Structure 1
Amino acid sequence: MNFKVLVLDDEPKQRKGIIAKINISSLPITIVGEAGDGIEGLELVLREQPDIVITDIRMPGMDGLDFIERAKELNPEIVFVIISGYSDFDFAKRAIKYGVSDYLLKPIDEAELRSNLANIILKIEETRKSRLEMEKLRQDKETNLENLRQQVLTRMVHDPKHAALSEERIMTVSDIIEQFPYILTIVLVIEPFQLPHYSFRVGDEQLIRFAIENMMSDQMKLAGRDGVIFQHAIHQNEMVYILGVDNLNESTAVKEWLTGVLYGVNHYMRLEVTIAIGSIVDSMDKMQKSYELAKLSLRNKIIKGANQIYDYSWIQSHTSSREQIMKEKDEELLFSLLHEGNETALHRWIAQRIQNLVEFPTATYSQLEWFCVDMYLLLRKYLLEKTEDTKLVIGEMDDLQYWLQNLTSWHEAVHQIQSQVTNIIHFLAKDHLVKDVMDEIKQYLVMNLHENISLQSIAERFFIHPTYFSKRFIDKYGQGYSDFLTQLRMEKAAEWLRGTNMKVQEIAEMVGFEGAAYFSSVFKKSHGVSPKEFRQIHRQSE
């Protein structure tokens, strides 16, 4: 297949020279026209429908930039190459912003021109091939009835005993067990993306997942494998692949062909994915375990990032037993810096310690989790020497487990532990001044009713843990923080309504409400009458 090329330059000698160099390049190119200005060039674009246009910038009538803009409106698929002198470099940079493929400086070098055109041809071929594949996928998708299959198989990996498989609709895992002595679960997670993306249009989310299914299936067949692949019915960005294997030592071989899947998704679809391999099991009843271990292996993305393949067997071999991450010298240093109140040094030490841990070649997520748990226990141990109220400052173990489960990056762990250290230092620094921090918080609320005082902002201001603070607050005052704050605001508003002539809007703002309407609604709910009625009642009684 030949590619059609159009050449524009207001100097005939330059045009002829470019055409001559193209003709001897042995590339699959046909010159379909030449022109000396942009106006004539547009006529040729309409008539010849070129694939590639080589154009000068400075031309009479219509210059190269205006020509490119108009020509793209006529045919967005055309690839443009501009030619320019050194003095035109700023124009060339502008043209690149219009989507121009490349620019060449005069005088045109024959080898550079050929290389440039060869690269463009390759890109056009890849784009057309991708478009054809996308069209085929769209056609396939119209006849693809996957919802039932996804739901049934999702139930199976979560609870094999209660998944009723329909042999008429799906290939059952029982079929795999009959063919292979072992099964293995693989999980592929598609990292967040935004459409339009590369060749995919808005609304093509399912098409992307369908394309990845096909890619997995193709790689499976090339490797002589057999299995079932489906999209998780709940986690829409998750693909699950149940694979039949012949022996217990096939994880390495499986990882090799999964590398081809990873490359294909990265290179051809321009998407980021993370793949995890679970454990090899010998029955359907154990398939849930294989799936759960694959999901556990995915956690290693937190320290090593996406676009990786995480193999449970490899991870297990490097974290076979619970390690003591924090040593005695670490405890001594930590306690010493806490005693000094050296917040900067502690932050730096925490950041460096975690960075060293995750950058170690054989590091696993479990080791990061162990470090975080050890740090929490050490901080709690230090606090117990100063106060019995450790939960108020750093929370409970359940809080630690919650934020560990919600980590998306190891940097978040650094920030979380640094925040705990900051809480300890500032809490203890003021502890001798205030016997009960809850009383100080109440005093602060009374003095700052006009502010937007959220529970989180109070926790940060007083260096206490928000979850435990909420529990302590209820124990202390018999009601939740939000209700208590509203009560304080309504009491202060009633006081000002009785004793001042301030407008309702002004009072609303003084007690933290932006609008009088919402303030009036809350006040009426609290006092049974509107602010205006409340004022009238109390003035009549005086």
Structure 2
Amino acid sequence: MKVVIVDDEPKLRQGLQTLIPWESLGLTVTATAANGNEAVEIIEKEPPDIVVVDIRMPLMDGLQLIQYLTSAGLQLQFIILSGYADFEYAKQAIKYGVAGYLLKPVDIKEMTHTLKQVRERIEEERLKQGINQTELINRDWVLHNLLLPQDKKEAPAQLRSMAKEAGLLRSCYEVVIVFPRVSDASRSDALQQLSEALKRTIEGKAMGMVTIRFPYVIVLLHEPLRGAERREKLYREIRNAASDIRFVAATGGAVSELEEVSGSYLKAQELIKQAFFSEKGRLLGPNPSHHPLTESCRQSGDNAEGMMEEFISRLYYSLDAGNGTMILPLLKEAAAFFLMQEQDENAVKESFFFLSNAVVHKLTSGYRKETKETDEVSRFLKGIFEYEHLDDLLDETHRFLLNLAEDSEPGGKDKEVKIMINTIHRHYADNLKLETLAGMLNYSTAYLGQLFKNKTGEYFNTYLDRVRIQKAKELLGQGMKVYEAAERVGYTSVNYFHSKFKKYEGRSPSDFKNP
């Protein structure tokens, strides 16, 4: 299969050509290009099978190239190369059906794995397109035909005749599919192992028929799975057949007509795609319940961008102040909001990537010491896209963020006030509000304000103003201009800064400034 590499970095183009074992993968690099315009000329003359493309390039970037080639009707597989800074931009390419997304610097092993996966996908598509419809009727072929969408099937009468000849004519059907959660390199072996083991159980007990339709093992049951007990029993059978293979399984529900079998199959496929939001260790079925998080999600009129900034801010202040008890509830609230926005699995993972990356950046920049090595942060961020269940993603994100802020939590009976004072001294220049801290500490605004007044003798805003004015005095004493000092300590209005300064110092900022 032919590959074209498109990247504006000559060293990267040369490195990929040299370091990737193209021949052993059954691939060959036929051309390279430094930008989208060059790539268009090359690809239109001799279309490849796979295009490896950088997302940011001069003249025509990677996204524009993908848009152009896709709209031109070319059936190509794209693998995107991107830096962390380009992540939001690269997300747009997902709707064009990119086959792979790799972060720079490129990991050769990961790149090799992705290329192999894409090649096998192309081979599978070609195999499906090349089925000989006139081959000798057999049970597997008839079952595969039943799984096809209605407009691709044989005529109903002919389909019923073939099903009868193959011994598949029944009064009821139910499709169960099993998807092995293994690497693409191991998928064929896993499918074979699962199929053979399930045949001994399902076909041995005359319960139905088992076949492979890549990337699934298909079970066509002759009787519906009525009741939770029968579903649990079948799930145990699949688990025993899988042995040490991780998997997810789903049923599309019972149907009574041959023409409806494909509908059951499609429903099961959709459930497999939604497995990320489901409970672990059970057979997924029709009419799935919403994830428990959505039940507790508050309705909000805020837009998604505004809510994301709020989650970032609340997580950051909670971690920076050492209030670890609020992290998991905040993460669950964020996840619930993403679900209420009807985000799919990829979108939820992208949202968690953006959220975590922003919090990590705020925590590890500025005056706070870096608490994690860069490679560990990178592994965590990349690993977000590997989680198979939302609950696992929440738990791991919670663990990682807590480790970022370990040993930072203040103690003592006045813990809440210490957190507030600590936060004021760290973030006096930010738009600090008592409401924000109240949400962070899980108290009402009125209660927390009174608690702060009782312990410090001053209201929250008064204390914040005093800290800001003290910092402004230091800056003015260093020769900073009045408007610069005002902005540096968090006042957006110079006139307001003047009034506050006179209130607490008895003179104007310009009087205080050193000549």
Q: TM-score band (shorter)?
A: 0.3 to 0.5
Larger radius of gyration: 1
Q: TM-score, normalised by structure 2?
A: 0.34
